[in-house]
Amino acid sequence: SSSMRRSALWTAALSAGAQAWMVTPRAPVRATAAASRGPACVMVDAFVLDRLREMRGVHDDLTAQLEDPSVQANVEAMLRVTRERAKLDGVVEALSAYEGCEQRLTEAKELFNEDDVELREMARAEIKEAEQEMEALDARMKVLLLPSDPNDERNVMFEIRAGTGGDEAAIWASDLLNLYERYAREQGWQTRLVSKSDSEAGGMRDATMEIKGQSVYSKLKFEAGVHRVQRVPATETQGRIHTSTATVAIMPEVDEVSVQINPGDIEMHAARSGGAGGQNVNKVETAIDLTHKPTGIRLFVTQERSQLKNKELAMQMLRAKLYAMQLEEQHAKVASARKMQVGTGARSEKIRTYNYKDSRCTDHRLGSNFALDGVMSGGIEPIIQQCIALDEQERLKELGVDG
Protein backbone atom coordinates (compact mmCIF):
# COMPACT_ATOMS: atom_id res chain seq x y z
CA SER A 1 0.00 0.00 0.00
CA SER A 2 1.15 3.55 -0.61
CA SER A 3 1.18 4.35 3.08
CA MET A 4 3.45 1.38 3.71
CA ARG A 5 5.73 2.47 0.90
CA ARG A 6 5.87 5.98 2.26
CA SER A 7 6.49 4.58 5.69
CA ALA A 8 9.33 2.45 4.48
CA LEU A 9 10.87 5.33 2.55
CA TRP A 10 10.77 7.75 5.41
CA THR A 11 11.75 5.24 8.04
CA ALA A 12 14.69 4.37 5.87
CA ALA A 13 15.56 8.03 5.42
CA LEU A 14 15.19 8.75 9.10
CA SER A 15 17.29 5.86 10.23
CA ALA A 16 19.90 6.05 7.52
CA GLY A 17 23.51 6.44 8.46
CA ALA A 18 25.76 9.45 8.49
CA GLN A 19 25.48 9.82 4.74
CA ALA A 20 21.82 10.66 4.85
CA TRP A 21 22.61 13.26 7.44
CA MET A 22 24.90 14.99 5.02
CA VAL A 23 22.21 15.68 2.46
CA THR A 24 23.44 16.73 -0.94
CA PRO A 25 22.34 20.22 -1.96
CA ARG A 26 19.19 20.53 -4.02
CA ALA A 27 17.82 23.43 -6.04
CA PRO A 28 16.20 25.95 -3.72
CA VAL A 29 12.42 25.72 -3.61
CA ARG A 30 10.50 28.95 -3.91
CA ALA A 31 8.13 29.67 -1.06
CA THR A 32 4.62 29.39 -2.42
CA ALA A 33 1.41 30.77 -1.07
CA ALA A 34 -0.80 27.93 0.03
CA ALA A 35 -4.02 29.49 -1.19
CA SER A 36 -6.13 26.50 -0.22
CA ARG A 37 -5.23 26.91 3.40
CA GLY A 38 -6.73 30.31 3.95
CA PRO A 39 -4.34 32.81 5.53
CA ALA A 40 -3.16 35.38 3.01
CA CYS A 41 0.29 35.76 4.48
CA VAL A 42 2.06 32.45 4.56
CA MET A 43 5.08 32.38 6.74
CA VAL A 44 5.89 28.77 6.35
CA ASP A 45 7.19 27.23 3.20
CA ALA A 46 4.69 24.81 1.67
CA PHE A 47 7.54 22.40 1.10
CA VAL A 48 8.24 22.32 4.83
CA LEU A 49 4.60 21.68 5.70
CA ASP A 50 4.27 18.95 3.11
CA ARG A 51 7.32 17.15 4.36
CA LEU A 52 6.24 17.43 7.96
CA ARG A 53 2.78 16.11 7.12
CA GLU A 54 4.40 13.12 5.49
CA MET A 55 6.41 12.53 8.65
CA ARG A 56 3.23 12.71 10.67
CA GLY A 57 1.82 10.08 8.34
CA VAL A 58 4.74 7.84 9.21
CA HIS A 59 4.09 8.49 12.88
CA ASP A 60 0.47 7.39 12.40
CA ASP A 61 1.59 4.26 10.57
CA LEU A 62 3.99 3.40 13.37
CA THR A 63 1.24 3.99 15.92
CA ALA A 64 -0.94 1.54 14.01
CA GLN A 65 1.93 -0.96 14.02
CA LEU A 66 2.06 -0.80 17.82
CA GLU A 67 -1.53 -2.02 17.90
CA ASP A 68 -0.71 -4.95 15.67
CA PRO A 69 -0.64 -8.16 17.75
CA SER A 70 2.16 -9.66 15.66
CA VAL A 71 4.34 -6.66 16.46
CA GLN A 72 3.29 -6.74 20.10
CA ALA A 73 4.45 -10.31 20.33
CA ASN A 74 7.98 -9.42 19.24
CA VAL A 75 9.88 -7.47 21.89
CA GLU A 76 12.58 -6.26 19.51
CA ALA A 77 10.07 -5.02 16.96
CA MET A 78 8.08 -3.26 19.68
CA LEU A 79 11.19 -1.49 20.93
CA ARG A 80 12.25 -0.49 17.46
CA VAL A 81 8.84 0.83 16.44
CA THR A 82 8.45 2.68 19.73
CA ARG A 83 11.85 4.29 19.30
CA GLU A 84 11.23 5.32 15.69
CA ARG A 85 7.82 6.68 16.58
CA ALA A 86 9.23 8.67 19.52
CA LYS A 87 11.69 10.39 17.19
CA LEU A 88 8.72 11.85 15.31
CA ASP A 89 6.82 13.03 18.40
CA GLY A 90 8.37 16.48 18.03
CA VAL A 91 7.00 16.75 14.50
CA VAL A 92 3.49 15.77 15.51
CA GLU A 93 3.54 18.25 18.36
CA ALA A 94 4.85 21.12 16.25
CA LEU A 95 2.43 20.43 13.41
CA SER A 96 -0.58 20.30 15.67
CA ALA A 97 0.53 23.53 17.37
CA TYR A 98 0.94 25.11 13.93
CA GLU A 99 -2.41 23.89 12.67
CA GLY A 100 -3.99 25.17 15.85
CA CYS A 101 -2.52 28.60 15.13
CA GLU A 102 -3.74 28.48 11.55
CA GLN A 103 -7.22 27.76 12.80
CA ARG A 104 -7.14 30.63 15.28
CA LEU A 105 -5.84 32.95 12.59
CA THR A 106 -8.63 32.04 10.19
CA GLU A 107 -11.26 32.55 12.87
CA ALA A 108 -9.73 35.82 13.98
CA LYS A 109 -9.66 37.11 10.42
CA GLU A 110 -13.31 36.32 10.02
CA LEU A 111 -14.04 38.17 13.21
CA PHE A 112 -12.03 41.08 11.85
CA ASN A 113 -14.62 41.48 9.10
CA GLU A 114 -17.33 42.19 11.64
CA ASP A 115 -18.62 45.73 12.13
CA ASP A 116 -18.28 45.75 15.90
CA VAL A 117 -15.18 47.80 16.83
CA GLU A 118 -14.57 45.89 20.05
CA LEU A 119 -14.68 42.58 18.26
CA ARG A 120 -12.30 43.94 15.63
CA GLU A 121 -9.83 44.95 18.34
CA MET A 122 -9.99 41.49 19.89
CA ALA A 123 -9.51 40.01 16.47
CA ARG A 124 -6.50 42.23 15.76
CA ALA A 125 -4.83 41.13 19.01
CA GLU A 126 -5.66 37.51 18.29
CA ILE A 127 -4.21 37.76 14.77
CA LYS A 128 -0.99 39.29 16.08
CA GLU A 129 -0.57 36.55 18.68
CA ALA A 130 -1.27 33.77 16.24
CA GLU A 131 1.16 35.17 13.67
CA GLN A 132 3.93 35.47 16.27
CA GLU A 133 3.44 31.89 17.35
CA MET A 134 3.47 30.71 13.78
CA GLU A 135 6.75 32.49 13.19
CA ALA A 136 8.32 30.76 16.15
CA LEU A 137 6.94 27.43 15.03
CA ASP A 138 8.33 28.06 11.56
CA ALA A 139 11.86 28.04 12.88
CA ARG A 140 11.23 24.91 14.92
CA MET A 141 9.58 23.05 12.09
CA LYS A 142 12.40 23.71 9.67
CA VAL A 143 14.87 22.21 12.08
CA LEU A 144 12.63 19.17 12.45
CA LEU A 145 13.10 18.56 8.76
CA LEU A 146 16.76 17.89 9.15
CA PRO A 147 17.69 14.23 9.38
CA SER A 148 19.39 13.72 12.69
CA ASP A 149 22.96 12.62 12.97
CA PRO A 150 22.85 9.00 14.11
CA ASN A 151 25.88 9.62 16.27
CA ASP A 152 24.26 12.45 18.25
CA GLU A 153 23.21 10.35 21.21
CA ARG A 154 26.54 8.58 21.53
CA ASN A 155 29.11 8.90 24.25
CA VAL A 156 32.54 10.01 23.13
CA MET A 157 36.24 9.40 23.50
CA PHE A 158 37.62 12.89 23.88
CA GLU A 159 41.27 13.24 22.98
CA ILE A 160 43.62 16.21 23.33
CA ARG A 161 47.11 16.35 21.92
CA ALA A 162 49.60 19.12 22.56
CA GLY A 163 50.88 20.66 19.35
CA THR A 164 54.40 21.85 18.73
CA GLY A 165 55.61 24.46 21.19
CA GLY A 166 57.32 22.38 23.84
CA ASP A 167 56.36 22.93 27.47
CA GLU A 168 53.91 25.73 26.81
CA ALA A 169 51.95 23.57 24.36
CA ALA A 170 51.83 20.84 27.00
CA ILE A 171 50.52 23.26 29.61
CA TRP A 172 47.96 24.59 27.14
CA ALA A 173 46.75 21.07 26.41
CA SER A 174 46.22 20.48 30.09
CA ASP A 175 44.40 23.81 30.50
CA LEU A 176 42.07 22.77 27.71
CA LEU A 177 41.48 19.40 29.36
CA ASN A 178 40.43 21.17 32.55
CA LEU A 179 38.10 23.39 30.56
CA TYR A 180 36.30 20.46 29.03
CA GLU A 181 36.21 18.49 32.26
CA ARG A 182 34.42 21.39 33.90
CA TYR A 183 32.04 21.78 30.99
CA ALA A 184 31.24 18.08 31.06
CA ARG A 185 30.54 18.17 34.78
CA GLU A 186 28.34 21.22 34.32
CA GLN A 187 26.37 19.26 31.71
CA GLY A 188 25.89 16.45 34.18
CA TRP A 189 28.05 14.07 32.18
CA GLN A 190 30.40 11.43 33.60
CA THR A 191 34.04 11.73 32.73
CA ARG A 192 36.71 9.09 33.04
CA LEU A 193 40.32 9.70 32.19
CA VAL A 194 41.51 6.66 30.28
CA SER A 195 44.99 7.69 29.32
CA LYS A 196 47.36 10.55 29.93
CA SER A 197 50.99 11.24 29.10
CA ASP A 198 52.44 13.87 31.36
CA SER A 199 55.12 16.23 30.21
CA GLU A 200 58.15 16.71 32.46
CA ALA A 201 57.80 20.46 32.97
CA GLY A 202 54.11 20.26 33.83
CA GLY A 203 51.15 19.86 31.54
CA MET A 204 50.62 16.88 29.29
CA ARG A 205 51.48 15.65 25.82
CA ASP A 206 48.16 13.93 25.30
CA ALA A 207 45.18 12.57 27.13
CA THR A 208 42.03 10.65 26.35
CA MET A 209 38.88 11.05 28.36
CA GLU A 210 35.73 9.00 28.05
CA ILE A 211 32.61 11.18 28.37
CA LYS A 212 29.24 9.53 29.00
CA GLY A 213 25.86 11.11 29.24
CA GLN A 214 22.96 12.48 27.29
CA SER A 215 23.57 13.59 23.74
CA VAL A 216 27.26 14.08 24.38
CA TYR A 217 28.36 13.83 20.76
CA SER A 218 25.71 16.24 19.54
CA LYS A 219 27.27 18.99 21.65
CA LEU A 220 30.95 18.16 21.46
CA LYS A 221 31.17 17.38 17.77
CA PHE A 222 32.00 20.97 16.88
CA GLU A 223 34.93 21.07 19.30
CA ALA A 224 37.17 18.94 17.11
CA GLY A 225 40.09 20.72 15.52
CA VAL A 226 43.02 22.90 16.44
CA HIS A 227 42.68 25.27 19.40
CA ARG A 228 45.28 28.00 19.34
CA VAL A 229 46.40 30.10 22.30
CA GLN A 230 48.24 33.41 22.30
CA ARG A 231 49.61 34.36 25.70
CA VAL A 232 52.72 34.89 27.79
CA PRO A 233 53.69 31.37 28.93
CA ALA A 234 54.31 30.62 32.59
CA THR A 235 57.82 29.60 31.61
CA GLU A 236 58.55 32.80 29.72
CA THR A 237 61.08 35.06 31.42
CA GLN A 238 60.90 38.05 29.13
CA GLY A 239 57.18 38.61 28.88
CA ARG A 240 56.91 37.70 25.21
CA ILE A 241 53.69 36.38 23.80
CA HIS A 242 53.85 32.87 22.34
CA THR A 243 51.44 31.00 20.13
CA SER A 244 50.86 27.32 20.79
CA THR A 245 48.26 24.83 19.73
CA ALA A 246 46.48 21.75 20.91
CA THR A 247 44.31 19.44 18.82
CA VAL A 248 41.02 18.09 20.01
CA ALA A 249 39.59 14.91 18.53
CA ILE A 250 36.03 13.77 19.18
CA MET A 251 35.34 10.12 18.55
CA PRO A 252 31.87 8.71 19.08
CA GLU A 253 31.91 5.50 21.11
CA VAL A 254 30.72 2.55 19.17
CA ASP A 255 29.98 -1.05 20.03
CA GLU A 256 31.46 -4.16 18.49
CA VAL A 257 28.66 -4.41 15.96
CA SER A 258 29.33 -1.01 14.41
CA VAL A 259 33.01 -1.55 13.81
CA GLN A 260 34.24 -4.97 12.83
CA ILE A 261 37.80 -5.70 13.79
CA ASN A 262 39.53 -8.74 12.39
CA PRO A 263 41.47 -10.44 15.24
CA GLY A 264 44.24 -11.19 12.75
CA ASP A 265 44.80 -7.46 12.26
CA ILE A 266 45.69 -6.94 15.90
CA GLU A 267 48.95 -7.46 17.69
CA MET A 268 48.66 -7.21 21.41
CA HIS A 269 51.15 -7.82 24.14
CA ALA A 270 51.74 -6.94 27.75
CA ALA A 271 54.14 -4.05 28.01
CA ARG A 272 56.37 -3.56 31.06
CA SER A 273 56.76 -7.28 31.46
CA GLY A 274 60.45 -7.66 32.08
CA GLY A 275 61.45 -10.37 34.53
CA ALA A 276 59.80 -13.69 35.19
CA GLY A 277 56.11 -12.87 35.28
CA GLY A 278 53.46 -15.32 36.48
CA GLN A 279 53.50 -16.50 40.09
CA ASN A 280 56.99 -15.08 40.56
CA VAL A 281 55.83 -11.47 40.61
CA ASN A 282 53.17 -9.30 42.18
CA LYS A 283 51.88 -7.07 39.38
CA VAL A 284 49.90 -4.05 40.43
CA GLU A 285 50.13 -2.26 37.14
CA THR A 286 49.48 -4.04 33.89
CA ALA A 287 50.00 -2.36 30.55
CA ILE A 288 48.60 -3.38 27.23
CA ASP A 289 50.37 -2.46 24.02
CA LEU A 290 48.00 -2.79 21.09
CA THR A 291 48.81 -2.34 17.40
CA HIS A 292 46.25 -2.38 14.63
CA LYS A 293 48.36 -3.46 11.68
CA PRO A 294 46.33 -2.21 8.71
CA THR A 295 46.13 1.35 10.02
CA GLY A 296 49.22 1.49 12.20
CA ILE A 297 47.18 2.71 15.16
CA ARG A 298 49.12 2.03 18.35
CA LEU A 299 47.65 2.22 21.82
CA PHE A 300 49.17 1.93 25.23
CA VAL A 301 46.67 1.39 28.04
CA THR A 302 47.52 1.07 31.68
CA GLN A 303 44.66 2.76 33.45
CA GLU A 304 42.68 -0.14 34.88
CA ARG A 305 43.22 -2.45 37.84
CA SER A 306 43.23 -5.60 35.78
CA GLN A 307 44.93 -6.64 32.56
CA LEU A 308 41.61 -7.76 31.12
CA LYS A 309 40.04 -4.36 31.70
CA ASN A 310 43.02 -2.71 30.06
CA LYS A 311 42.53 -5.01 27.08
CA GLU A 312 38.84 -4.13 26.88
CA LEU A 313 39.64 -0.44 27.15
CA ALA A 314 42.26 -0.67 24.42
CA MET A 315 39.75 -2.37 22.11
CA GLN A 316 37.14 0.29 22.91
CA MET A 317 39.58 3.05 22.05
CA LEU A 318 40.59 1.28 18.86
CA ARG A 319 36.95 0.94 17.79
CA ALA A 320 36.36 4.63 18.44
CA LYS A 321 39.42 5.59 16.39
CA LEU A 322 38.50 3.32 13.48
CA TYR A 323 34.96 4.63 13.48
CA ALA A 324 36.26 8.19 13.55
CA MET A 325 38.40 7.38 10.52
CA GLN A 326 35.35 6.04 8.70
CA LEU A 327 33.45 9.21 9.56
CA GLU A 328 36.30 11.38 8.27
CA GLU A 329 36.21 9.49 4.97
CA GLN A 330 32.49 9.96 4.65
CA HIS A 331 32.72 13.65 5.49
CA ALA A 332 35.48 14.14 2.96
CA LYS A 333 33.36 12.58 0.21
CA VAL A 334 30.49 14.97 0.76
CA ALA A 335 32.68 17.96 -0.08
CA SER A 336 30.42 20.57 1.39
CA ALA A 337 30.89 24.30 1.50
CA ARG A 338 29.70 24.54 5.07
CA LYS A 339 31.64 26.61 7.58
CA MET A 340 30.50 24.31 10.33
CA GLN A 341 32.22 21.10 9.48
CA VAL A 342 32.00 18.26 11.93
CA GLY A 343 35.54 17.06 11.97
CA THR A 344 36.94 14.28 14.03
CA GLY A 345 40.08 16.30 14.61
CA ALA A 346 42.02 14.89 11.71
CA ARG A 347 42.13 18.09 9.74
CA SER A 348 44.50 20.85 10.74
CA GLU A 349 42.16 23.84 10.61
CA LYS A 350 42.20 26.20 13.54
CA ILE A 351 38.72 26.40 14.88
CA ARG A 352 39.35 28.64 17.87
CA THR A 353 41.90 31.19 19.01
CA TYR A 354 42.25 32.11 22.67
CA ASN A 355 43.88 35.52 23.09
CA TYR A 356 44.89 36.28 26.65
CA LYS A 357 46.05 39.85 26.09
CA ASP A 358 42.69 40.91 24.70
CA SER A 359 40.85 38.51 26.98
CA ARG A 360 38.80 36.97 24.20
CA CYS A 361 38.14 33.67 22.49
CA THR A 362 37.31 33.70 18.80
CA ASP A 363 35.53 30.91 17.00
CA HIS A 364 36.66 31.14 13.38
CA ARG A 365 33.66 29.39 11.90
CA LEU A 366 31.16 31.57 13.68
CA GLY A 367 33.33 34.63 13.24
CA SER A 368 32.40 35.76 16.76
CA ASN A 369 34.22 36.55 19.99
CA PHE A 370 33.53 35.42 23.51
CA ALA A 371 34.86 36.57 26.89
CA LEU A 372 37.91 34.49 27.71
CA ASP A 373 37.41 34.13 31.47
CA GLY A 374 34.02 32.55 31.10
CA VAL A 375 35.32 30.22 28.44
CA MET A 376 38.38 29.01 30.37
CA SER A 377 36.25 28.07 33.37
CA GLY A 378 34.19 25.74 31.21
CA GLY A 379 31.46 28.17 30.19
CA ILE A 380 31.41 27.24 26.51
CA GLU A 381 27.72 26.49 26.26
CA PRO A 382 26.93 29.75 24.40
CA ILE A 383 29.62 28.96 21.81
CA ILE A 384 28.29 25.45 21.35
CA GLN A 385 24.71 26.67 20.97
CA GLN A 386 25.80 29.10 18.28
CA CYS A 387 27.70 26.34 16.50
CA ILE A 388 24.63 24.14 16.57
CA ALA A 389 22.51 26.99 15.21
CA LEU A 390 24.95 27.78 12.39
CA ASP A 391 25.17 24.12 11.48
CA GLU A 392 21.37 23.88 11.29
CA GLN A 393 21.19 27.00 9.15
CA GLU A 394 23.73 25.66 6.69
CA ARG A 395 22.10 22.27 6.43
CA LEU A 396 18.70 23.83 5.89
CA LYS A 397 20.16 25.94 3.10
CA GLU A 398 21.49 22.82 1.44
CA LEU A 399 18.08 21.24 1.70
CA GLY A 400 16.73 24.22 -0.19
CA VAL A 401 14.91 25.70 2.76
CA ASP A 402 15.79 29.26 3.62
CA GLY A 403 16.65 29.82 7.26
Binding flag, residue 269, other proteins (CB under 8 A) = yes
Query: Do 288 and 266 meet the contact criterion of CB atoms below 8 Å apart?
Result: no
Q: How far is the CB of 164 from other proteins (least distance, A)?
A: 26
Taking the least distance from each CB to other proteins, the nearer of 269 and 298 is 269
Chain mean position to CA 50: 27
Q: Single out the residue of 18, 111, 143, 270 in contact with other proteins (rule: CB under 8 A).
A: 270
Taking the least distance from each CB to other proteins, the nearer of 127 and 184 is 184
Q: Which stretch binds other proteins (CB under 8 A): 97-105, 139-147, 240-248, 306-314?
A: 306-314
Q: How far is the CB of 284 from other proteins (least distance, A)?
A: 5
Binding flag, residue 33, other proteins (CB under 8 A) = no
Q: Which stretch binds other proteins (CB under 8 A): 157-165, 222-230, 253-261, 305-313?
A: 305-313
Taking the least distance from each CB to other proteins, the nearer of 27 and 284 is 284
Residues of this chain, 274-303, that bind other proteins according to CB under 8 A? 276-284, 286, 288
Taking the least distance from each CB to other proteins, the nearer of 35 and 284 is 284
Binding flag, residue 125, other proteins (CB under 8 A) = no
Candidates 122, 149, 331, 296; CA nearest to 225 is 331
What is the rounded distance in angstroms from the CA atom of residue 403 to the CA atom of residue 398? 10
Size, binding site for other proteins by CB under 8 A? 22
Residues of this chain, 151-210, that bind other proteins according to CB under 8 A? 193
Binding footprint of other proteins on the chain (CB under 8 A):
193, 268-270, 273, 276-284, 286, 288, 304-309
